[in-house]
Each structure stands twice: as C-alpha cells, then as structure tokens.
Structure 1
Amino acid sequence: MIRVVIVDDDPLVAESLKTILEISEEIEVLGTGNSGPEAVKLYLQERPDVLLTDIRMGESTGIEAAKEIFKQVPDAVILLLTTFSDDEYIREALQIGVKGYLIKQELASIVPAIKAVYNGQTVFGTEVVGKLASILTDQTPQKLNNIELSEREESILFAVANGKNNKEIAQELFLSEGTVRNNLSQLLEKLEVRDRTQLAIFYYRNYPQK
C-alpha cells in the first residue's frame, strides 16, 4: 500500500484528489492539507511514502514546503501538481530534487505517476516534458570536462532521463538489475550528482540533441 498525503489550497480539490486516489486499492490517503506549512507539518507527522502538493498556495508555495521537508528528510518523495506549467517553477522544482511535476488537467496520469515515483522513477506531465530541454539548456551547462562516459553509461543516462526504472533499463540493455544498479552508482559518483532527477537534468543540459 502506497501511503500518500495531499495538499492543495482549495479544500474541494484536495478532497477530489483524495477520492480519485482512493479508487486505487494500492493507495491510502493519510490526510489532506491546504497550505505550505500544513504540507510540512503533515509530512513530518505522517511520514507518507509520497507527498502530492500544489505549488501556488496562500502562505507559501509547495516548492518552499518541499525545501523545508528536504532539510529534515533528504530522501522524501514529493510530487508537484499544479495548473501552472511555469518555466521557473519547473526549473526550481528540478533543482531541489522533487520526483515529479504534473499539470492538474492530466488527472488520468496522477495514480500512475504516484506509483512511478514510489518505485524510484521521475515523472513529468506531457506539457512539462515538452519544455524540459529548452528550460534546462537555457542555463549554463554542467561541463563534461575530462569525464568520459562509456557507451553503456550514456545508454543508462538516456534511459534514466526518459523515466525508466532499473528493471526496464535492464531489459532494454540486456543486463541484470544488479549490473544496472552498480552502473548507476558509478554514474552518480562520476558526475557528482545525488539522484536520478539530477541525472536527468545533467542529460538534458549536455545531450539536448538526443
């Protein structure tokens, strides 16, 4: 059972999301909130597997709440849900390490997205994916410098950037999941990034042509 907390400044939206999620027998909603401070309080109180939070809220944004949560729980799994596909929000969300960014209109994708981030994947809504390359290449690229990636490492990097989990990567590259895990660990260390989200950012900054 995937344990979820929902936060949205519109109580009706929060309850509607709760109803949608609880249709799935694999998801349990532990509670709902309506502000950034409530998001932090509920997360620390309930310790859910996934926090699903709106961005624009009265007292503070969902991104500010996420930053506060990450200070105390660095491996928190946070999925942002918003009506705004604002470039700056997307950029900041990626930089702080959230696991996904969905547009509210894409309601059908919310349950699969929660399952995906719970299993370690990074998820972006269709509208967001279309903006990723331009958003990330607008910034100064992280330079490869003298770092050389093998063909396998580049293939794994590409797969991670496209949201594939270890099992899918293993099947695609004809490797064992253990080998994929080992290669991922080496890739994280070599590129000096902390997680799969940062690997995806690195990919889009340095391989925009692919």
Structure 2
Amino acid sequence: MINVLMMNTSDIFTQGLKILLEGEDDLEVLEVSDRESNFIEQISDFEPDILLVHLVHGVSDTLKKQINEIREKYKQIRVICIFVSYDKKLIKEALTLGVKGFLLSHSSGEGLIHSIRSVWQHQYVFADEIVTEMIDFLGTECMNKKEKLSRFFSSQNMDMNDRDIDILFLIYKGYKNLEIANELNLSEKTVRDYVSKVYKKLQINHRHKVKAYLTSIIHEKMKE
C-alpha cells in the first residue's frame, strides 16, 4: 500500500484527483490543509510515502517550511509537485526541496497514478514539457559559463582557443584527465598535453588552484 498525502489541495481539480486516486487498490489518500497550523498532527498516524503538492501560485516560504517539516519527520517520503504553470526558477526551487516528480495539471489521471508508483520505487518523473525546459536550461547554463571563460581570457589578451576553453571548463567541473578524454573523445596523453599547455598559459601549476581560479571567474561574471 502506498500512502499518498495531498497538500495545498483545496480546489475542484484536486478534489477530483483525490477521488481518482482512491479508486486504486494500492493507494491510500489523506488530504490536509496547508492553512492549518496542526497539519503535522493530522498525519501523525498516516505514515505517508508520497507527498503530492499542487502548486498554483509557486512555492511560498510557508509551503517550503511545511514541506521541509514533513520531510524531516518522514525520512522515507518522496515529493511530487503538480504545476499549474512553471518556469526555470520554480523548477529550481522544487529541486532544492527534494522533489522527485514534476507533473503538470493537465497530465492524465493514468499518467499521475503511474508517476506515483514510479516515484515510490525511487525513480524521478518529469512531464515532457518540463524535461525540454530543463535540458534547454542546463544547456544554456553550460554555454553561458564557457562563454564567460572565453570572454574573460579574451579581455585579458590571453591566447585561449576553443579546445583550451573546453579543457578549462571540464577542469572547473571537477573532471579528471581520463574523464576529460572520454568527454572530448581524445586520448589521455593528448589531454595531459592540453592541460600542461593551459597551466602554462595561466602560470598556475596546481589543479585545485586552477579550478579555484576558474570558479572565481565564472561566479564573478555571473554576478554582473
């Protein structure tokens, strides 16, 4: 039996959702109001496995506190959010809350039930639109960071070509030489040669110092 705790669920949509879930033999549902201060006491005997949160207006500080309080008390619980609308900021906030399931309010009932069972089995679940958004976001973030490195070295009149930037970016990410070789489809010896070359250009001989230097460049530029 999978115990599903529904929060932030006061509209017609979620009432219908509760009826849908209660029709499944392996799901037991308890709905609590996030407006009540004693909501933790309401679920003390329920031992929830899944926390299902309907996000209509984003993640408020109160909701963050409540979700964290539930996750602290019930270590095994896994969180699924149903988004009415979403953006990069909201997805990032949900990730920091330990959310495992990212669904949309127009998701099918069958899809939701399947997602609950999947998350219960320690899997991540994403609506297709959110996957696309996250891939675009992560790709843009990586490109932005590499571009920041490239622009910085150019502004310092340092001769760093595209391959040098690739190597430096992967060093920044904590990759070892063999991992860099696998990522860039190069031999490990070739990577060692590139690493030695960029160290010489930077006039820094220790990897952790190079990484710290690159981190300072990227983070400083991201503040601008």
The TM tier, using the shorter chain, reads 0.5 to 0.7
Q: Which residue of 1 aligns with 2:211?
A: none
Quote the Cα distance in structure 2 between the aligned partners of 1:62 and 1:17. Answer: 20
Alpha-carbon offset, residue 28 of structure 1: 1.2
Q: Does residue 34 of structure 1 match 2:41?
A: no
Q: In the superposition, relative to structure 1, how do residues 143 and 24 fare at CA in structure 2: closer, same or farther (>3 Å)?
A: same
Contact 1:33 1:39 in 2 (8 A): no
1:23-58 CA distances to partner (integer Å, 9 max, x unpaired)? Answer: 2222111x1123266696255552211111112469
* 1:50 alignment partner in structure 2: 50
Which residue, out of 148, 152, 176, partners 1:146? 176
Q: Which residue number corresponds to residue 175 of structure 1?
A: none
The one-letter amino acid paired with 1:89 is: L
**Partner-residue secondary structure (3-state), 2:5:** strand
Give 1:110's aligned residue.
Answer: 112
Instruction: Mark the CA change 1:9 to 1:19 in structure 2 (over 3 Å): closer, same or farther.
Output: closer
User: Alpha-carbon deviation of 1:68?
Assistant: 3.0
Match of 1:123 among 125, 139, 152: 125
2:134 corresponds to 1:132: yes
Instruction: Name stretches of at least 5 consecutive residues in structure 2 with no aligned partner.
Output: 146-171, 180-224
Q: Structure 1, residues 112-141: CA drift from partner, whole Å, max 9, x if none? A: 000000111000112211111123345468
Q: Secondary structure at the match of 1:54?
A: strand
Number of aligned pairs? 149
Q: Given the superposition, is the C-alpha separation of residues 88 and 37 from structure 1 closer, same or farther in structure 2, using an over 3 Å criterion? A: farther
CA distance in 1, matches of 2:86, 2:38: 21
- 8 Å CA contact 2:54–2:82 kept in 1: the answer is yes
Deviation at 1:19, TM superposition (A): 0.6
**In the alignment, is the contact (CA less than 8 A) between 1:39 and 1:65 conserved in 2?**
no
3-state secondary structure, aligned to 1:111: helix
Matches within 5 A, 1:93-104: 93-104=94-105
Change (3 A) 1:136 1:23: same
After superposition, the C-alpha distances for 1:143-171 in whole angstroms (9 at most, x for unaligned) are 1422856xxxxxxxxxxxxxxxxxxxxxx
Matched-pair contact (CA < 8 Å) for 2:32–2:39: no
- The 5 Å alignment of 1:181-196 reads none
Give, in whole Å, the separation in 1 of the partners of 2:38 and 2:129. 25
CA distance change for structure 1 residues 28 and 148 in 2, over 3 Å: closer, same or farther? Answer: farther
Find the structure with the greater CA-based Rg: 2
Q: Provide the aligned C-alpha RMSD in A.
A: 3.2
Deviations 1:65-119 (A, max 9, x none): 3233334444421111120122211112123321111101113311000000011
For the structure 1 residues 78 and 40, does the alpha-carbon distance in structure 2 shift closer, same or farther, using more than 3 Å as the test?
A: farther
Range moving further from structure 2, 116-125 or 10-19:
10-19
Give the unaligned 5+ runs of structure 1: 150-210
Instruction: Give the structure-2-normalised TM-score.
Output: 0.55
Contact 1:36 1:64 in 2 (8 A): no
CA distance 1:50–1:144, change in 2 (3 Å): same
